A and B are shown apart, each in its own frame.
Chain A
Amino acid sequence: MSLLKVKNLNISYPTRKETIVASKDVEFTLERGEILGIVGESGSGKSTIANAIINLIDPPGEITGGSIKIDKIELRDNEEVIQKIRGKKIGFVFQDPQTSLNPLFRIKDQLIETIQTHLDLDYQEALNRSIQLLEEVGIDNAEKRIEDYPHQFSGGMRQRVVIALAISCEPDLIIADEPTTALDVSIQYQILELLKDLTQKRNLGVIIITHDMGVIAETTNKVIVMRYGVIVEQGDTKELLTNPKSNEARSLVISVPPTNKKIDRFKLISPDGKEITSDSKNLTRKIIKSWGVRENTNQKLLELTGVTKIFDDNSMAGKFSFGSKNETIDKVVKAVDDVSFELFEGETLGLVGESGSGKSTIAKIITGLVRPTGGEIFYNNLSLYNSKRKYQIDKSRGQIQMIFQDPYSSLNPRFKVRDIISEPIKLFQKNITRSELTQNTHDLIDIVGMTRQSLDRYPHEFSGGQRQRISIARALATRPRLLVCDEPTSALDVSIQAQILNLLKDIQDELHLTMLFISHDLPVIRQMCNRIVVLKNGGVCETKETEELFNNPEHPYTQELIRLMPKIESIV
């Protein structure tokens, strides 16, 4: 008997304009001891399915048809039964550990309350059980830590607490919605191992929802690929990843950056199954004409020596700790610690590290958004910061530009695309004629692969990938020589990521740009960069040529990162 049986599930969201179908005729089963992965790009409906099983879809969404059976009990339209099942038979893990726990209650209380809701135990018994649970999920010193509040735990620990809560009443099924997306690679590895462990020990059925193919490859037995609310392919994980049959699945698998070798361009598959190659040479010709020819001299373009950044923390807590244990009231964070590296013209240098490594801060220092506390930054042998630590923007004059991570906040929502792109042009060429301006704007929008009609629209009318293209066009408007890319594709779906990265590669080649590429995603870095700097906690661990770094990592941290990153190839 299957643990979970979903048949003909239909979910829709009626909005005032139209009814959006979130899922159509979805059907699958799950057995005990199995880990099922549901993968798809954003908007595919994977989260909605998960929420539907315990009937917690955000309104106005509703289930319009089908059946959901757990151990033969029908869950659909059965609010009473679902109430009892939530927590008891099905445990749920949400994506963001920061917001999943109630900040005002101790962990102890949250655990005991959950336990006592479903199981008939008195306070002491529930407390003991809670402590056991915390130990099982790997929290040291559980007896003491159970008294703490959520904000006293780090992200990874919080997720463990969330898992403890999910399994507290001995459920048979666990649904985890993007459980590790918000966590660092090393923590992610631990959490996934924990889940695999629990599945075996307790003979659970687990559903993991994710967009990360590497996670699918390493964790799941079966996988479902979804697109626009429909299951396009499902089956045994190994099978599907080595031999995807549907176009969508092929597109997904093929867009994933390989972890074991370097390729020239990312492969892309169009909806009708053929491979896409792009030809941007024509488009860039016009731009090259107006920019003037550039030669690659291979000189040193950017140099950082001993750069340090210390952030001061004036927290309210500091003011109130009358005679408490902590000595230092002014908290100090060393975001960047004595970092040095060089960047040569024409190359792509990668900065890789987990959260807290300082990579974003370095990007901000180079572009003048944050002042360094110490060290020197030279661009073209000129110091970017004067003796008073003020950014000399005239030294770089638009030659340094940046592409940001979040496509949703990097464009001013009140500006038309045309104005977003033309504003920097106007700033640098004060006497430009109207027709020239229009021409330049057109060239730029062409080069990033978007239509001219888009110029008269507003950012919110575009998808994430399209917005990143607009950002790139804006960045190119000042004719930069150095392009700093701060996690430009981390917020994008895998196939869109491939497109954007290809675009960046093409532009770099044609326009002789130098790139500083920042990411936490090792496979992406491998594909994009010639040389790599590995950062940890603000300091440099290792600097090497790409292939050498991956084949022969010296620093233990680098070795660990490479070892732990989810590899889609692991399946083979």
Chain B
Amino acid sequence: MLLKTFNKIYDTDVGYSFFNSKIAIISSTIMFIIFLCSVFAGVVAPYNPFDPASISLMDAFTPPSWSEGGSSSFILGTDQQGRDMLSTMIYGSRISLIVGFASILFAMVLGVFLGVTAGYIGGRYEIIVMRLTDVQLTIPSILMALLVNGIAKSVISQSMHSEMAIYVLIFAIGISEWPQFARVSRASTLVEKNKEYVSASRIIGLSNIIIMFKHILPNILRPLLVIATIGLALAIITESTLSFLGVGVPPTTPSLGTLIRFGNSFLFSGEWWITFFPAIFLIVLALSINLLGDWMRDALNPKLKIR
């Protein structure tokens, strides 16, 4: 049974392209590994760096195990508080991934809904929605996220800051990304709307909602998937940037960006690994997601036929 489905997938154009592209396989494998690690962080990481009992300041500033002064119990060294680098990175990536996925999901649901309805219904509704996306698209996502963050901070009382920070962040990044989804969904919806199967559905008498979400939506998923993947990478980068600037996740639950910020102050004094490793990790994560998204874009594009 499994073999049969595998063969079926391999036979499709997309499947064939995937299994023949080393890049696609490598990057999705990396993603998968990182993903698994972060989900099962408790099991995978050698230590739990956020459990105050397990760290001691005595271990602080230990260099990576292969350099002088390093120890095998901390493979990649420790940071300024004595936390094992590898563990903090794994836990950190978990935060990064959670924020990334959640915000993109939010953006996608909001954006696709508004985009599809705008494209199908048209009229003043469409104009309003499109104006909104236009206005927001001129504001770059970082700025948007910063603004929303800043506003939220001043609205929510001081004490609630830490608790709400992650939700605010997800909301902020999500708000900054939805216009892309809306734009593409609307454009695709307009194209599909002119196709005759939609006319046929209307003549049969199917309700508009059914036409939009049962008939049109499945046909526009391809480009949306590409945007979602690349958007995920962007969301992760945005989150880490915000955390680096100090306005992202609270320091108690650091993401990769926060870790880089911590380490930045020690870069010039010689403890390079505190910044270096999280940075590499982040780069690898973002790179593999982008590569996957890139491959997807080419594979799913009917205009650029494979030779």
Contact = CB atoms under 8 A, between A and B. Distances in A.
B197 A411 contact: yes
Contacts, number: 55
Given A424-B204, A427-B204, A414 B218 contact: yes
Summarize A's interface: helix, strand, loop or mixed.
loop
Contact of B203 (A369, A411, A414, A415): A369
A60 B200 contact: no
A410 interface: yes
A404 B204 contact: no
A402 B218 contact: no
B81 interface: no
Given A16-B306, A59-B307, A60-B307, A410 B200 contact: yes
Interface in A333-369: 364, 367-369
A59 B205 CA distance: 44
B306 A423 contact: no
A424 B202 CA distance: 11
A444 to B, nearest CB: 14
Interface string B190-218: 00000111011111111000000001001
Summarize B's interface: helix, strand, loop or mixed.
helix
A44 interface: no
A411 B195 CA distance: 9
B219 A402 contact: no
B125 interface: no
B292 to A, nearest CB: 22
A234 interface: no
Contact of A412 (B16, B203, B215, B306): B215
Contacts of B202: 368-369
Interface residues of B, number: 17
A393 B201 CA distance: 13
Contacts of B197: 409-412
B205 A404 contact: no
A541 B184 CA distance: 44
Nearest to A58: B305
A471 B219 contact: no
A404 B219 contact: no
The size bracket of the interface on A is 20 to 34
A235 B202 CA distance: 50
A423 B196 contact: no
A406 interface: yes
Nearest to B197: A412
Contact of B206 (A364, A369, A423, A475): A423
Contacts of B199: 364, 367, 369, 402, 404
B200 A414 contact: no
26 contacts: A59-B307, A60-B307, A364-B199, A367-B203, A369-B203, A393-B205, A400-B203, A402-B199, A402-B200, A402-B203, A405-B196, A406-B196, A409-B195, A409-B197, A410-B197, A410-B200, A413-B219, A415-B215, A423-B204, A423-B206, A424-B204, A427-B205, A427-B206, A471-B200, A474-B204, A478-B205
Interface of A: 16, 59-60, 364, 367-369, 393, 397-398, 400-402, 404-406, 409-415, 423-424, 427, 471, 474-475, 478
